[in-house]
Structure 1
């Protein structure tokens, strides 16, 4: 990443002269210390990048070159954007109860995100400044391309809760609970869930996707450092090997069970489907969320060793697709329309298919993960499921209820982490910031 700055940026007020700044930042999910950043301006162009033929070509070019994905637009990047290869996802607890401090943090995060997604260092950079103060940027992404980095922010149900420190009047001086969207519900406990509280929930989330893992980790690390004293990392997850695609022309990725995943996923260029199934409209309410979405994040553990000892026929029956081509039962090609009645009633594809749920669809952006072993020689591996939708109550909840009851895949998986977030609309221009309408 570049440390180049315009004269306007150099003239911006700096807080690096305040020697009370902390030291190092986040390393794979643990905060050490930090400070605030200079609010800077960036000269890159605006645009959504997903809703026109012109921008389709731009996305394809970015995927080939590691170039920057446009940050500004009516929707946040990282949702309909062509799915990158790597993920660093982090959930945060807000530790301040000052509404103005939280709003300022979101402003600071926005300014930093503008720079990092454009391939620039945060603030005044990683070196060359005041020797007695920590640098503004942690520096591990210096010299790297933007790698199509996207940063997507969300607000959890607990951000709008009552009675945490306020005697029941509401967080941040009151009033936040009235802004909670009706669709931002706490997910019910599904049959088979074995949820770890340490791997779920959160007041805020940041999804960092990039084609270079170091670029994604750098972004989360710097945002956590900027938020020191206002937020603390609650949990985080690294991911690799995207398991869904928003670009139908590309090869469908495979999950760790070796099967193609997300064949019927919503295309990032299908504006009609996005409007119907993903983006919150003005009539959905509340007004501050129009143009946004809802995200469900689930950490799904895969019983790799048991699966690897299962016959090929049973594996294909479990999914309802053949393992080589990815074609549905009785079909020759992956994208042939499946005949659901030809599959076993317990097959995953049959139970999850939109035709089994009145046409309901979600935009999936899942990633595989491996986090070492469990102490018994078994891989701690699985799928970090990410799904964007217009209303959790109409999409994820009924689909997951159906899967939890009857899916043959349940013998080989278990949901161990869970979170839901309201995703605000995009940052329109240089004067806008994440969640501005909520705090206005």
Structure 2
């Protein structure tokens, strides 16, 4: 958890015009037989080009976010209300089959982010075959759905897909930080897909469709549903509160701050991996909150732990949430003080975290917390130094524990209808 906030306000209507009806399927099913998705997406049946923009105003809740652009949508884009995140293990050993899967996923993502069903849709096809689309999102608006893919370290392992020489230096295996209690079943993954939308059914549908298309070639390793975004989307919007009741994400990199994005978020060819230019690196951490202990803690201690007041969210000694914090006025172990760039040699990240509740843990305690998502240009200069600082001294550690962890290289955006996720890596 860090003290930051995302801001994005660029206008785009996201409407797709002149959509053509999909062609009949050439073969049955998505699995071993496959489906000619490209034919289904021909002509007008692709999302509108975004001209390199991946952001829409949060007020356009039913709109479509442009799928094409220099960067993948879902990073600097305005943060949506809901999340379905999934990590996949790649089961196929065939490089060409993996490439075909990524192309099929890209075509499906084009359609779904524009608010269209996959293939021939959820009905009207051959009665002897399962529908191409499971149908639960039929009739729903695009809901600003974004799909963002990432490649885990395992994809670059020797003797898998011939990618060992293309693993970026910035894609490092995360160390075991003090206090970590990581569950292997909730960590790692060869691929990840982050689905964000304003309608939870739209986000869940998207992951479900990709998992279905990948059947036999990939398998879901773990997944996480999220609600209650923990980063603000516009400068004048009210900052969301986390499950501890505090405003969270006040000082994130703004989605409109191009200079900061270039410096701290977007990878460049000069970083050493030309195929990652325009991409980023994602750290995903499932952070369990000890809700019951926190709820019995005095208000004064809660505010001391964060270094902000609970009502306004103002830093210690200040009156407004967005006032520049005076770090020395806070206790040395205050979360805001330790997470601030001034305490981490200027390290900054762009975060898109979500709250979660997953029932109880069998002992009557609420399984709840923060699903932390942080994008940066280099994990070694972003998340790692900040987490090292927090894991040793943060007063918040008494009330939280990191229980899941993963890191991914997020490739650049899909430029046009002939491009696909991961082309720069496999070309």
TM superposition score category, shorter chain reference: over 0.9
* Cα separation, 2, equivalents of 1:360 and 1:3: 39
Deviations 1:100-144 (A, max 9, x none): 110110000000000000000001111001000011100000111
Unaligned ranges ≥5, structure 1: 23-32, 163-169
The 5 Å alignment of 1:35-434 reads 36=35, 38-39=37-38, 40-41=41-42, 42-47=45-50, 50=53, 59-60=56-57, 63-162=59-158, 170-172=159-161, 175-434=162-421
Which whole-Å CA distance do the structure 2 matches of 1:222 and 1:71 have between them?
Answer: 17
Matched, 1:10 2:22: yes
RMSD: 1.9
Shift of 1:43: 4.3
Separation in structure 2 between the aligned mates of residue 251 and residue 306 of structure 1, nearest angstrom:
27
Displacement of 1:44 after TM fit?
Answer: 3.5
TM-score, scaled to structure 2: 0.92
Contact 2:87 2:191 in 1 (8 A): yes
User: Number of residues paired by the alignment?
Assistant: 409
The answer on whether the counterparts of 2:53 and 2:70 sit within 8 Å (CA) in structure 1 is no
SS at match of 1:429: coil
TM-score by length of 1: 0.90
Question: Shift of the alpha carbon at 1:66?
Answer: 1.2
**Could you list the per-position Cα deviations for residues 277-318 of structure 1 after superposition, in whole angstroms to 9, with x for gaps in the alignment?**
100011012111100000000000000000000000000000
Cα shift at 1:150:
0.2
Instruction: Work out whether residues 21 and 133 of structure 1, in 8 Å CA contact, stay in contact via their aligned partners in 2.
Output: no
Contact 1:294 1:420 in 2 (8 A): yes
SS of 1:205's equivalent in the other structure is strand
Aligned-partner Cα distance in 2 for 1:91–1:385: 14
Rounded Cα–Cα distance in structure 2 between residues aligned with 1:296 and 1:405? 19
Q: CA deviation at 1:246?
A: 3.9
Q: How far did residue 358 of structure 1 move?
A: 1.8
Contact 2:267 2:276 survives alignment (8 Å): yes
Shift of 1:6: 4.3
2:293 counterpart SS class: helix
